[in-house]
């Protein structure tokens, strides 16, 4: 068990290293031994890293230790869901733009590995540079997705770029729609998992302004 775990961690770290280097052929080498375990691990850790980058949100809401752990796990699972949606978009757009019909099961591992740059998502916590880091990571994800889709779809660079860019833009549009939705789905899920009121920095600033003497 210990040797298997060590080999898995090595494969996971090797895959992420290849991903950060945008080396699709290198990243695919580790899939033969562990199949889905490596891509799923990449996605889960990416989600956890993103939530670690939002530690201020957890602190503001005074989320307890166990609830924090549960929130981190939920964030990891949420990234798997986001990857599944993006893989479905790649499949649909691949059929629309290329005329072929790639199977989502063949595309999903590549999409999951493309989330490797989000392992650096915790860096968004840095003051002043956080938003810039977030944008860089998103573009990094797109570049890696492009390279990984070439062998996954069996197409050239131009076709893979068209599918990757279209799927990425569609995924970003869905993310913005969820963020601005009147039902506030993301906040509801956060409140449910963390057991907190879902306060943000803006809420605290608004409360402070209301309490200021006129």
Residues 151-160 have pLDDT tens digits of 888 899 999 9
What's the pLDDT band for 144 if we cut at 50, 70, 90? very high
In Å, how far from its chain's centre is CA 193?
18
Residue 3 has a pLDDT of: 81
Q: What is the DSSP letter of 120?
A: G
Q: Hey, how many other C-beta atoms are within 10 angstroms of the C-beta on 182?
A: 5
HSE value, Cβ hemisphere, 13 Å, CA-based, for 135: 4
Assign 29 to helix, strand or coil: coil
What's the CA gap between 76 and 42, in Å, rounded? 9
Q: Is the pLDDT of residue 31 over 80?
A: no
Residue 81 has a pLDDT of: 94
Mean pLDDT of 34-58: 85
Q: Is the pLDDT of residue 67 over 80?
A: no
pTM: 0.83
What's the CA gap between 4 and 84, in Å, rounded? 27
Phi-psi label, residue 102: left if phi above 0, alpha if psi -120 to 50, beta otherwise: beta
Question: What mean pLDDT, rounded, does the chain reach?
Answer: 82
What's the pLDDT band for 179 if we cut at 50, 70, 90? confident
Q: Hey, how many other C-beta atoms are within 10 angstroms of the C-beta on 179?
A: 11
Residue 129 has a pLDDT of: 79
Residue 194 has a pLDDT of: 66
Q: pLDDT above 70 covers what percent of the chain?
A: 79
């Amino acid at each position: 068990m210990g040797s298997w775990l060590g080999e898995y961690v090595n494969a996971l770290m090797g895959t992420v290293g290849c991903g950060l280097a945008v080396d699709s052929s290198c990243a695919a080498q580790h899939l033969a031994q562990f199949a889905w375990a490596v891509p799923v691990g990449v996605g889960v850790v990416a989600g956890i890293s993103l939530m670690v980058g939002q530690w201020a949100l957890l602190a503001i809401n005074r989320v307890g230790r166990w609830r924090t752990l549960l929130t981190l796990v939920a964030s990891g699972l949420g990234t798997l869901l986001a990857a599944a949606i993006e893989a479905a978009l790649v499949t649909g757009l691949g059929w629309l733009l290329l005329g072929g019909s790639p199977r989502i099961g063949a595309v999903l591992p590549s999409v999951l590995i493309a989330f490797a740059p989000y392992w650096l998502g915790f860096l968004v916590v840095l003051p002043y540079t956080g938003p810039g880091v977030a944008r860089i990571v998103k573009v990094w994800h797109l570049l890696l997705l492009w390279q990984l889709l070439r062998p996954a779809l069996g197409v050239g660079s131009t076709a893979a770029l068209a599918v990757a860019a279209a799927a990425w833009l569609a995924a970003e549009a869905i993310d913005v729609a969820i963020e601005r939705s009147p039902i506030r789905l993301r906040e509801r899920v956060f409140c449910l998992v963390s057991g907190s009121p879902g306060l943000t920095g803006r809420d605290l600033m608004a409360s402070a302004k209301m309490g200021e003497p006129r």
